[in-house]
Amino acid sequence: MSGTTGPVAGSCNIAALMEEQARSRPFQRAVVFPQGRDPAGNVCWTQLTFAQLEALSSAYAVGLQRRGVGVGDRVSLLVKPRLEFIPLVFAVFKLGAIPVLIDPGMGRRQFLSCLERMRPRVLMAEPVVHLVRQVVRAPFRTVEVSVTTGTWGGVTLAELAAEGGDLPARPRSEDDEAAILFTSGSTGPAKGVTCTHGIFHAQTRFIQEMYGIEGGEIDLACFPLFGLFSMAMGMTVVIPDMDPTRPAQADPRKLIEAIQAQGCTSGAGSPAIWRNVGRYATERGITLPSLKRLLMFGAPVPVRMHEQFQRILTDGACIHTPYGATESLPVASISSREILDETHARTRAGAGTCVGTPHPAVTVRIIGIRDEAIPRFEDAELLPVGEVGEITVRGPIVTPEYKDLPEQTARAKMVETLPDGRTAIVHRMGDLGYLDAQGRIWFCGRKSHRVRLADGSLVFPVPVEGVFNEHPDVHRTALVGVAGQPVLCVELEPGCRRPHAEIEAELRQLGATQAVSAVVDRFLFHPGFPVDVRHNAKIHRLQLAAWAAERLGAPPRALPAGEV
């Protein structure tokens, strides 16, 4: 099939995929970027073809190489989405250097701590970062080569590319380190995840297979990292006019404008982005016929959004929600069609959230809930179909470690001995759930968010919330534990002005309809849940639990030792 990806002969360097795309489709647009507007208000789009992108990436790589950058050097990339972003990333890959991608939205203190732990030798950044470097020196003390996207702070992009030249991707093996990608820090301290070139190849192949993506399609990349995969599959990547660190604030008019102007066939991003797009399109009767699919990830997608986009998308197009994490992605996927036709009826009855069927090359098993490290998979308790435990994953998309964090790695990774004597890494997702008779994964919440009642029994948040989220005035709910009691925090739909007492009475009636939700006796209304910085959709439940404890005059729940 046109655009099919796989390791290029002689090298597993992920940059070799880009070189192959440049040879097979040199004149197709590779990346499109909105560069302001003309006097009439129309967007001025600038672009690079695959041939131009490959030439620019090679020129950047030559410039970096002549400044001493090479295999294994850590390169901190603090560059806003722009036309040059993707060529810069692939230039680093070409050299066998290691791009380090840290989400600056996680907060200044945590961000600088992550940067200091990584000890980058190369800094590619916006001028404001180079200014910060003059004031806060410790996190940048290992930097020897500086590149700026402006005119101050280091070698400019123009200077970097000035000497030109053709530089093929350096041969790398499947197990060679390719990048360090940081988790968002929304479910624990942010950690650097080691990704290999083989993992990137597997992820690219899985995404293409799971969603039937073909070369020549056009992707609206609302999450920059996904744009790299899209381009490796031969898609044209449209970078939208939005701040990717604040997806909930993305302007739906600009996103719809980009989809319509560029004829996007695919889009990817947080549910927080598409919630705004869905509301705007519905209010104005807008449909998006060019789209074949939307990928939404980072947090659960409300069923109302699935229903809403059934009217916005046409010709059988639908939402797909991949399941996974920075440490292992994609594991499984489910479509809005399957949710609306089948699984939602079970979700509203307290069964949890179905996140789909695993990819055939991924092995998913459920083990007994334990907080401590389990060195060998054989020492874990394997649970039967239908029983809730911790979700584990084995396969070519499983990352090997948290960089320079051996204790965290030990708690999240197990070694399994296979029948042929080889060993494989099994990742503990930190998620709780179960497998049904059809082999689908049902998500019941994070391990660290389980609620232990005063009698010692456990309540899993997501099945309970699935019952209460059916109330028409409820935007979302979050179950937390306070002094051994389950407390349901409730965020209402925007604009809801009904008395809280009335809604609480209705929620009590709704909860009584299912055994899983009947345990809830305390309800607290919150003006707006705290959410993660990356997707603006994943609830910060530990913060919410502390808020609930304060409201109820009780001490907040402490994390068990070893929880991540």
Cis before 330? omega within 30: yes
Residue 280: band (very low, low, confident or very high) from pLDDT cuts 50, 70, 90: very high
Contacts of 142 (CB under 8 A, 6+ apart): 119, 120, 121
For residue 548, CA distances in Å to 159, 525, 541, 556 come to 55, 10, 10, 8
Are 443 and 352 in contact by the 8 Å Cβ rule? The answer is yes
Are 56 and 48 in contact by the 8 Å Cβ rule? The answer is yes
pLDDT, residue 56, reads 97
* Residue 135, Cβ density class (10 Å: 0-12 exposed, 13-18 middle, ≥19 buried): exposed
Tens of pLDDT, residue by residue over 286-338, are 999 999 999 998 888 989 999 999 999 999 999 999 999 999 999 999 999 99
* Residue 508, Cβ density class (10 Å: 0-12 exposed, 13-18 middle, ≥19 buried): middle
Alpha carbon distance 401, 160 (integer Å): 33
Residue with tokens 């603090």: 78
Q: What is the residue-wise DSSP string for 101-114?
A: E--GGG-HHHHHHH
Residue 533: band (very low, low, confident or very high) from pLDDT cuts 50, 70, 90: low
CA angle, residues 330, 82, 201, in degrees to nearest 5: 30
Alpha carbon distance 337, 454 (integer Å): 40
SS3 content of the chain, % helix, strand, coil (to 5): 35, 25, 40
Q: Radius of gyration over alpha carbons of the chain, in Å?
A: 24
**Strand 353-358 and strand 441-446: pairing?**
antiparallel
Residue 543: both structure tokens together: 């913060």
Residue ranges per domain, the chain? 49-196, 361-449, 458-552
Tens of pLDDT, residue by residue over 416-473, are 999 999 999 999 999 999 999 999 999 999 999 999 999 999 999 999 999 999 999 9
Residue 220: both structure tokens together: 């609206």
Residue 40: both structure tokens together: 């009439």
What are the backbone angles phi and psi of residue 179, rounded to the nearest 5°? -160, 165
Are 59 and 164 in contact by the 8 Å Cβ rule? The answer is yes
Residue 532: band (very low, low, confident or very high) from pLDDT cuts 50, 70, 90: confident
DSSP 340: I
pLDDT, residue 556, reads 54
Element of type H or E holding 94: helix 85-95
What are the backbone angles phi and psi of residue 434, rounded to the nearest 5°? -150, 165
Average pLDDT of the residues in 53-66:
97
Alpha carbon distance 474, 471 (integer Å): 5
Residue 81: band (very low, low, confident or very high) from pLDDT cuts 50, 70, 90: confident
Residue 8: band (very low, low, confident or very high) from pLDDT cuts 50, 70, 90: very low
Alpha carbon distance 90, 96 (integer Å): 10
- Beta-bridge partner residues of 334: 321
Alpha carbon distance 109, 563 (integer Å): 22
Burial 392-402 (b: 16+ CB within 10 A, else e): bbbbbbbbbbb
Mean pLDDT of the chain: 93
C-alpha of 307 from chain center: 23
Q: What is the residue-wise DSSP string for 427-496?
A: EEEEEEEEE-TTS-EEEEEEGGG-EE-TTS-EE-HHHHHHHHTTSTTEEEEEEEEETTEEEEEEEEPTT-
Least confident of 77-81, 178-182, 253-257: 77-81
* Residue 454, Cβ density class (10 Å: 0-12 exposed, 13-18 middle, ≥19 buried): exposed
Average pLDDT of the residues in 512-518:
97
Residue 534: band (very low, low, confident or very high) from pLDDT cuts 50, 70, 90: low
Fold classification of 458-552 (topology level): GMP Synthetase; Chain A, domain 3 (3.30.300)
Average pLDDT of the residues in 111-131:
95
Alpha carbon distance 86, 292 (integer Å): 24
**Strand 236-238 and strand 218-221: pairing?**
parallel
> How much is the pTM?
0.93
Half-sphere exposure of 214 (CA within 13 A, CB side): 5
Tens of pLDDT, residue by residue over 173-221, are 999 999 999 987 766 678 999 999 999 999 999 999 999 999 999 999 9
SS3 (DSSP) at 245? coil
Q: Please identify, in words, the CATH class of the domain defined by 49-196.
A: alpha beta
Cβ neighbours, 10 Å, residue 473: 15
Alpha carbon distance 431, 445 (integer Å): 6
**CATH superfamily of this structure's domain 361-449:** Luciferase; Domain 3 (2.30.38.10)
Residue 345 has pLDDT above 70, yes or no: yes
